[in-house]
Structure 1
């Protein structure tokens, strides 16, 4: 017999997914311990679990998955082929429909871009304290994307407005925002995406005291300091409207001591996700954030990428940080107690299939 953990590891399905498929009657374990409720699977069920994982990755509805597994175990290959072919036809029709919708959306985008004045066309000359700029870049750099298919995320947005410079980075799964005070900007709002290599060069120049000068001229962006200059081309794309992604006030806020909490992350329970290790968090009755065990079933738990959480806590650069937890499907926000303008959010990871 194989334990549920072994079956999850070898099949590509998470433990929570196996529990879900048991409750749904799709893949019922061969034995359930009457005392502990622990699930055990027969050796032959590993093949069914791997098949189930493939079918779900292909987006097959659960009702059809149940029939495929029944046909598979009964050696009814004709039924299985018919179900697979029918699902493939649905996917092809869906892809054709999606192409049509995306074509219409691109046409709408073209008209919208022609009608709007882009923030990318502005120029700016501002001064900022080197230490403030360094802190702002340190707070967001970890969240910058690396996917070449999404070049607009492969950098840090510099959003200049009034007396504030906001730095923003996101890779879709996490986002970080920080602020620094500026002087010398009397114009309208200007946005520029600075590619990550240039961001790193700017950060190195800002590693000191005094004031540095940021200059935006069309396609060029430069940072000048007393001992040098870092300059290059901006990323020629529009950044997402990050203001629409800002987190709403969460139901539960808790202060964590960063150093011991990081130690808990290193040594505490870990859930094995499909793509990464996960940490499952909840706020207990005493108002403290705790890490849930892999088999915990608390309704208010939130699962996030463990490495992303560690990066966000480290980038917070404080001994104490505030964690805001909402519903299991809501982002986790991490804030500095004394600085509401600098924060990061992590997208939750679904635990049940």
Structure 2
């Protein structure tokens, strides 16, 4: 190849984002040998068609991929390369989660003279179920870390778990075998709780203890888990709940048929037609007659529209075979709860109704 078609190492370094020293290292390791080396001067030259490999190499190293894995990604087909990338990222995420847990343990040990505050003792499987149900209403939003947390409030009678992503709000109240000895409130990191769920579920009893900047989940004969507290104020959900008007329409429908009807629609939005003949699940933008569901309905007929990602999780986490929908109008929050057990309640926000659709 004529030298006029090649780039000296400095130019190639600038265009690829790799330093000259890095290019020499990758050449010596066999990952990115130069297209040509001047036999007299030893100068290295690179071809334009090597830029893609060089750029990918740089990007892989920027996410801390080991050299052996980098070579495998560069030299395999796209599907296998994607699998190797997913595998590497999963390891990074797992390592980071483990480091966070260990850091919490270390910080707690450093402040071992600070007494913990017992909050409540719950059955492990029950607590794990609550965490999984309520955390479906969380979201990771830039600048709003509190939306990814689980708010815990302990009174002298019960303990309440609440989460919200602004479009849904889920709350569940438990009455422990022994009433909480202390009143306490805090918002716990949702990712830490998710990581602890498997261990919590295996515990016959789990004692929740508050410490500065976190809570301990004490699990006899198993590994205790530390979860961080979030510093941001949790949204004033109690005022919102207190301001809800009375339901103008109430529908009681079997949970499983409703979920199947939602699953049959591929669109991002869904419309519920609630009336004397039951609940009809329809796509907002086609002429399909929809899926009629038997339901017990009282009150006014109503059409109401939801994002599927709002309605489906709210229904799927309801407890029991039947769900009750308390509706207040096409633009007001809907309360979704079990028809026979009211300890898990979810509010779901509808979306603006385009009456032309």
* TM-score (norm: length of structure 1): 0.58
Deviation at 1:212, TM superposition (A): 0.6
Distance 1:263 1:313 in 2: 11
- 8 Å CA contact retained: 2:249, 2:301: no
Distance 1:125 1:351 in 2: 44
Deviation at 1:214, TM superposition (A): 0.3
Distance 2:193 2:318 in 1: 18
Cα deviations by residue, 1:69-96 (Å, 9 ceiling, x for unpaired): xxxxxxxxxxxxxxxxxxxxxxxxxxxx
Q: Which structure has more RCO (C-alpha within 8 Å, separation ≥ 6)?
A: 1
- 8 Å CA contact retained: 2:174, 2:343: no
**Matched positions, count:** 224
Paired position in structure 1 for 2:214: 220
Q: Is there any run of 5+ residues in structure 1 with no aligned partner, and where? A: 1-121, 271-276
Deviation at 1:312, TM superposition (A): 1.4
Distance 2:198 2:237 in 1: 26
- 8 Å CA contact retained: 1:269, 1:279: no
- 8 Å CA contact retained: 1:143, 1:174: yes
Paired position in structure 1 for 2:343: 341
- 8 Å CA contact retained: 1:123, 1:218: no
Deviation at 1:352, TM superposition (A): 2.5
| Aligned ranges 1:165-176 → 2 under 5 Å | 165-176=159-170
* Structure 1 stretch displaced more, 165-174 or 147-156: 147-156
- 8 Å CA contact retained: 2:152, 2:160: yes
Distance 2:257 2:312 in 1: 12
Paired position in structure 1 for 2:261: 264
* TM-score (norm: length of structure 2): 0.58
Paired position in structure 2 for 1:116: none
Q: RMSD value over aligned CA atoms?
A: 2.5
Distance 2:328 2:266 in 1: 21
* Structure 1 stretch displaced more, 140-149 or 201-210: 201-210
Structure index of larger Rg: 2
Paired position in structure 2 for 1:231: 226
Aligned CA distance change for structure 1 residues 181 and 206 (closer, same or farther; 3 Å): farther
Q: Which runs of 4+ in 1 moved over 6 A?
A: 296-299
Distance 1:221 1:280 in 2: 41
Q: Does 1:283 align with 2:274?
A: yes
Distance 2:343 2:170 in 1: 10
